[in-house]
Chain A
Amino acid sequence: METQAPRSRRLTIAAEDGRVSGPEDVPSDAPLALRGLTVSYSEKPAVFSVDATFPANSMSTIIGPNGAGKSTLLKAALGVIPRLSGEVFVFGSPIENARNRIAYVPQRASVDWDFPATVMDVVQMGLYRKVGLLGRLSGQLTTRAQDCLDRVGMADFSHRQIGQLSGGQQQRVFLARALAQDADLYLLDEPFAGVDAATERAIIDVLKLLKSGGKAVVAVHHDLSTVREYFDHVFMINVRRIAEGTVNTCLTTKNLQATYGGRLAAAHLAQLAVVEGAG
């Protein structure tokens, strides 16, 4: 009976001709596209069946409440944590073939800053994919690493032990390491968490320069009051995808309520209103 199911016009839920297409369907060549991404810790989805497309030549942000799966989404996209299902495309190809086009800034708190290394050591790690296991770190590459430090305002710190850095300086070093990767897509996990105002300014300046240089930036962010100012594309998540689009179309009361829940959203809305009123 099943094989003879009539292709009734009334059945609006299936595709037009009832066909379910196979895995040959590949999405656009956007810098980062996620299809049906599901990640779970034990038996509870942290991210459920998320489709997302982050456009080229823009600054995108992933926002949502605590525990909504923002960082999980980013890490699963990168393959840092395993995904239960779903696919990740970077510039239209599977991520394994595009790793050299991605730069990554992990959460600052995810590493042990007591590790015996200097600032320069850390920045050079961004070159490891390029130089491989035994390739020589030429003077040119060392200069490039130094340049990256310069771009984040840390040129004088290259020989400093990383344990002696402040939180903001640590974040700058991580950004310099990503710059050294010289990628086309920059993924940042909470780059502004716990940093001072000057650092936040410096980081956003660097990111905006990247964007004007034709790169794509995707950052997990938690401060709604600066979303409008910093980003042009928003992806809102609370385990499931809530909304996706430009800042102006997305940051609506309805979407914020759907993402953060009623009372919290009201607080955030008030925050946004203040920013708008001031600006």
Chain B
Amino acid sequence: MTPFVEALFLQAGYNATLVAIGAALLGFAAGSSGTFLFLRKRALVSDAVAHATLPGVGLAFIVMVSLGGDGRSLVGLLAGSAVTAWVGLLVIEWITRRTRLAEDAAIGAVLGVFFGVGIVLLTVIQTMSAGRQAGLESFLLGSTAGMLFQDGVVIAVGGSFAVFATWLMRRPMTLVAFDSDYAAATGYDVRRIDLLMMGLVMGVTVIGLKLVGLILIVAMLIIPAVTARFWTERSSRVIWIAGGVGGMAGYLGAALSASAPALPTGPIIVLVAAAIFVVSLLFAPVRGVLAAILRHRRFQVQVHRRQGLLALAAKHPIREAYTLRLLVREGLVRPDGVSTAAGRAQAAKVARDERRWDAAREIHQDAGLTGRYDGLTPIEEVFTSDEIAEFDRLLGPPVAVGEA
């Protein structure tokens, strides 16, 4: 068996197995809780939260060492990171509420400043005698190398807990993410649910620090949610698809990185997620780029053909070069500019449908209907054949157009 397949089937040792399970759980929790953030249009708040963990890690280390420990307890470091991440969140909220600065400026300021303070603390720690081998830098990009068994347990347990919390709070968070006004009107405390949402994101961030690192954990929160959005229009599904994408990226990424040396876990997980994203972006059936391009091309052709035929029918000149080319290509107009029999026949049908629309709008004077009179909607789509027959009766016998 190749190392990758071994890792895929959890045969690559205790730690690798724990990491793979933990990464899958973390990916699932990050994907689903990130969905709420994404739908609330606050995706990058998570970036500030993640960067704001760094000073917490440093402070926790210094406190633990000054209390006589060796400062490397993962639980202690994560607790510290949670504290400063929470402070960062509150600062963002405070700046946005109390000053004229917009949220993006607040996010960027917190992100840069907290990270800067974190770097200062790291340099302080480097000068402490206990700090020389602290290895706190591994929190920047995550590192599973030299991870202890209990670290793996922390990640696996934390991941499970995050998934459970997401499941527990899915209803109020969905409500707030999709329509906070409605949620408020039905008696939910939107601000508290927002904070809970942020708390969950913070929890995922903290658990993911060791595995993915603080710079890339934001990818675990954002990419699956954005990816899922391409596949469905339904809220409940976005959450679970995002969870699935995140879980898959976590699991595959962890397995991949365990299968070869010098493949850092966090970045690999992110790249797997990004690969799934790119495939979705390009090939998703409705919202995907290819589908959209094809649709737009079709639409453009439809508009220009229709405009050209309307011009023919109204004896107006066709000025647009593209319209003319299109009609020539479809054999409706000769290259020298003379309309063909087929062109005249189609123009006649367009002219007849226009007259039918006139009749229809005379009879059915409701605003909903006028909205469908947009030049492209075929009249057969809006009215039944006997209704159309009635319009034709009103219009009188067809004007001789190409038929004697």
Given a CB threshold of 8 Å, the question of whether A touches B is answered with yes
* Residues of A near any B CB (own CB < 8 A): 1-3, 5, 7-8, 10-16, 18-23, 25, 35-36, 38, 40, 43-45, 48-49, 51, 65, 67, 84-87, 114, 238-240, 257-265
Q: A residues within 8 A CB of B315?
A: 13-16
Is B68 engaged at the interface, CB distance under 8 Å to the other chain?
A: no
19 other A-B residue contacts (CB within 8 Å) besides A12-B401, A36-B307, A45-B374: A2-B342, A3-B340, A7-B338, A10-B400, A10-B404, A20-B327, A20-B339, A25-B319, A36-B311, A36-B319, A43-B299, A49-B306, A49-B307, A67-B371, A85-B303, A85-B304, A261-B367, A261-B370, A264-B367
| B347 A13 Cβ-Cβ under 8 A | yes
| A261 B368 Cβ-Cβ under 8 A | yes
Is B365 engaged at the interface, CB distance under 8 Å to the other chain?
A: yes
Select the stretch in B11-19, B37-45, B90-98, B329-337 that faces chain A.
Answer: B329-337
| B366 A114 Cβ-Cβ under 8 A | no
Is B344 engaged at the interface, CB distance under 8 Å to the other chain?
A: yes
Q: How far is the CA of A15 from the CA of B339 in the complex (A)?
A: 9
Q: A residues within 8 A CB of B399?
A: 12
Q: A residues within 8 A CB of B375?
A: 38, 45, 48-49, 239-240
| A48 B376 Cβ-Cβ under 8 A | yes
Q: B residues within 8 A CB of A25?
A: 317, 319
Q: How far is the CA of A67 from the CA of B316 in the complex (A)?
A: 28
9 contacts between A and B (CB under 8 A): A15-B317, A20-B311, A20-B312, A22-B317, A45-B374, A49-B310, A65-B367, A259-B370, A265-B365
Q: How far is the CA of A258 from the CA of B23 in the complex (A)?
A: 61
Number of A-B contacts (CB under 8 A): 147
Q: Which 7 A-B pairs have the closest CB atoms?
A: A262-B365, A261-B367, A48-B375, A21-B317, A2-B340, A239-B374, A15-B315
Q: Contacts A2-B340, A85-B307: A20 and B317 contacting too (C-beta < 8 A)?
A: yes
State the Cβ distance, A238 to closest chain B Cβ, in Å: 5
Q: A residues within 8 A CB of B361?
A: 258
Q: Contacts A44-B374, A45-B374, A240-B373: A1 and B317 contacting too (C-beta < 8 A)?
A: no
Q: How far is the CA of A22 from the CA of B324 in the complex (A)?
A: 8
| A261 B369 Cβ-Cβ under 8 A | yes
A238 in complex: contacting residue of B312, B327, B342, B370, CB < 8 Å: B370
State the Cβ distance, A42 to closest chain B Cβ, in Å: 8
Q: How far is the CA of A231 from the CA of B274 in the complex (A)?
A: 57
Q: How far is the CA of A254 from the CA of B315 in the complex (A)?
A: 25
Q: Which residues from 255 to 304 on chain B have a C-beta closer than 8 Å to any C-beta of chain A?
A: 295-296, 299-300, 303-304
Tell me how many residues of B have a C-beta within 8 Å of chain A: 55
| B340 A45 Cβ-Cβ under 8 A | no
Against A, the Cβ 8 Å flags (1 = close, 0 = not) of B122-143 are 0000000000000000000000
State the Cβ distance, B294 to closest chain A Cβ, in Å: 11
Q: B residues within 8 A CB of A257?
A: 365
Q: B residues within 8 A CB of A5?
A: 334, 338-341, 344
Q: How far is the CA of A25 from the CA of B317 in the complex (A)?
A: 8
| B374 A240 Cβ-Cβ under 8 A | yes
Q: How far is the CA of A48 from the CA of B361 in the complex (A)?
A: 17
What residue in chain B is nearest A261 (Cβ atoms)?
B367
A20 in complex: contacting residue of B296, B307, B338, B351, CB < 8 Å: B338
What residue in chain A is nearest B368 (Cβ atoms)?
A261
Q: A residues within 8 A CB of B337?
A: 19-22
Is B318 engaged at the interface, CB distance under 8 Å to the other chain?
A: yes
Is B100 engaged at the interface, CB distance under 8 Å to the other chain?
A: yes
What residue in chain A is nearest B354 (Cβ atoms)?
A240
State the Cβ distance, A99 to closest chain B Cβ, in Å: 21
Q: How far is the CA of A35 from the CA of B320 in the complex (A)?
A: 9
Is B322 engaged at the interface, CB distance under 8 Å to the other chain?
A: yes
Q: A residues within 8 A CB of B300?
A: 84
| B317 A258 Cβ-Cβ under 8 A | no
Against A, the Cβ 8 Å flags (1 = close, 0 = not) of B233-267 are 00000000000000000000000000000000000
Q: How far is the CA of A51 from the CA of B318 in the complex (A)?
A: 12
Q: A residues within 8 A CB of B299?
A: 40, 43
| A36 B320 Cβ-Cβ under 8 A | yes
Q: A residues within 8 A CB of B307?
A: 36, 38, 49, 85
A23 in complex: contacting residue of B320, B344, B366, B369, CB < 8 Å: B320
Is B168 engaged at the interface, CB distance under 8 Å to the other chain?
A: no
Is B206 engaged at the interface, CB distance under 8 Å to the other chain?
A: no
State the Cβ distance, B76 to closest chain A Cβ, in Å: 44
Q: B residues within 8 A CB of A13?
A: 312-313, 315, 344, 347-348, 351, 401-402
Q: Which residues from 352 to 404 on chain B have a C-beta closer than 8 Å to any C-beta of chain A?
A: 361, 365-371, 373-376, 399-402, 404
Q: A residues within 8 A CB of B367?
A: 65, 260-264
What residue in chain A is nearest B349 (Cβ atoms)?
A13
What residue in chain B is nearest A257 (Cβ atoms)?
B365
| A14 B322 Cβ-Cβ under 8 A | no
What residue in chain B is nearest A87 (Cβ atoms)?
B319
Q: A residues within 8 A CB of B373?
A: 238-240
What residue in chain A is nearest B338 (Cβ atoms)?
A18
B333 in complex: contacting residue of A20, A36, A238, CB < 8 Å: A20
State the Cβ distance, B324 to closest chain A Cβ, in Å: 7
What residue in chain B is nearest A69 (Cβ atoms)?
B374
Is B1 engaged at the interface, CB distance under 8 Å to the other chain?
A: no
Q: How far is the CA of A10 from the CA of B318 in the complex (A)?
A: 21
Q: A residues within 8 A CB of B341?
A: 1-2, 5
Is B67 engaged at the interface, CB distance under 8 Å to the other chain?
A: no
What residue in chain B is nearest A12 (Cβ atoms)?
B401
What residue in chain B is nearest A116 (Cβ atoms)?
B100
Q: A residues within 8 A CB of B342?
A: 2
Q: A residues within 8 A CB of B205?
A: none
Q: B residues within 8 A CB of A40?
A: 299, 303
Q: A residues within 8 A CB of B322?
A: 85
Q: A residues within 8 A CB of B369?
A: 261
State the Cβ distance, A23 to closest chain B Cβ, in Å: 5
